[in-house]
Structure 1
Amino acid sequence: MRVLTSRVFSSPLRLSWRCSRSFHASPAYRDTIDLAYDLHDNNGQATGAPILILHGLFGSKKNNRSISKALARDLARPIYAIDLRNHGESAHTKTHNYTALAADTEAFLKKHNLKDATLIGHSMGAKTVMTMALRNPDCCADIIAVDNAPVDAALASDFPKYVEGMRKVEEAKVTSPKEADAILEPYAKSLPVRQFLLTNLIRSPSEPLKFRIPVRTLTHALDDMADFPFTDPEKNRFNKRALFVRGTRSHYVSDDVIPIIGKFFPRFELADIEAGHWVISENPEEFKRGEYYLC
């Protein structure tokens, strides 16, 4: 894993990891929801500053179970793996944008009295922690944004296909994961991706399988997930440490956006990990090598 530390770049560079575009301040978001979570504290031995880890679109806290347990053990810091709204065991609501996601997570920090937290987010979770840091820099000690950048950028074309496939699965009223996989295959060719999406399937007594997540709501939210709510780094800037991690086979953090990252997060570091978009699950050992950043 190659690493360089830098401030604001005048030209795009290719960098790597080692152990911190803006809008006007957004108004307070009042309709927050209580977030489901799992606490990993190494049987009570992890007593340091807390770490929150936020999943990506269509994910849940279960995706981060293994890495959370490992970080709690290695760093002696409690890890709160969160289900964001409309995901996992958290409540469903029609509003799904980064302002709402950030406000929910800020409310979680306050409710649990979590101070000096590190915020780790992947993809949708990455933009959520960036939004939190720029909205309210005092809410955390530092952030780690995994495979996303503080820019408006279209989601990979695969994501609309995924939601179309999931809607087809629900319409077919399937009764087994095998049936669901067969319907989803034309929309998600990769078996690991299908397995990831199908972790959202749940069974109710005497009823067809259905997705735990509100597929229609998230379909309508895809444009919001591509956006970023800040556009002026002169007005909103996070002057604490920020680590940006990108997959070498992913397009979400291109060299072109590095100067923009530097304007919003002037103390940022950038890490490259051999992986696609699902960096943590694809290469957890390489991701863990950045533990010293969290010490």
Structure 2
Amino acid sequence: MYKPLKFKNKDQSMFLPTLKERVDHFFDERQVSRHANPFMIFKTVLFLSIAVSLYVVIITSVLPLFMQLIAGILLGMTMAFIGFNICHDALHGAYSSNKKVNKALGFIFNIIGANTYVWNLTHNIVHHSYTNIIDHDEDIEIAPGLIRVNESDKINKLQRYQHIYAFFLYSLTMLSWIFRKDYLKFFKKNIGNSHVNKHPGAEYVKLFLYKAIYYALFIVLPLLLMSLSWWQFLIGFVAMHLAEGLVLGLVFQLAHVVEDTEIRHADNNAIHDAWAVHQLKTTANFAPASRL
């Protein structure tokens, strides 16, 4: 029988209410919005405009072949920026106070290859509930057997060289996502140690429909409209997704799999910290003062 993992620490019971009170005070005192500020809106328009422009430039073949390849790499990176700058916040309901705006911006996730429904299950629900907990948070299961993220795990011979090949594996993130990950997660009965109830019937249709739209935009139309051989297209397609995957992979790891964060095992199906305290112990901020 499935038993949800519990966070237990009565001594920390006031941590989350106190934290919420201080956060509320921060916004009230400075009279600033909790949602997207003008710079965030500018960034949204900028990234979406760059992505559409690069796509049109590539699909119309107005550039020399080598420059099309460069444009493809830039498009991949831009789609990664859209994913974690715009869609991530929108799907958390944080971008806007208007649910329709969040839904519309979150929907872009489907257009750039990911599935919003699967993301909600794996990221919003499971990952943020059980961050960095072995056998619960599948986000830290990075190429099992190839990449070791928990220093308490036994290291195999291959993993002694993971500092050499890890970046290449990170770059495969998006190729795996568009062809494998969403399907695998959708049809699993458990994500980590969390039981997945029956999906709504409409989500089966959406999964395949949105994937078909992505394949049409980034495989079918380029092959039909561009004067490329299949191998030239393949080089561009793979290069774009390797660039996108590397950016996403690095950002994912920097948030949770670094020296100062904890990767934990549950003790008798429990974590001996309050949930909010656990979040701080397992999550890292990075480059908070960087202008870039």
- TM-score between the two structures when normalised by the length of structure 2: 0.29
Bigger fraction of residues in strand: 1
Greater C-alpha radius of gyration: 2
Select the structure that is richer in helix: 2
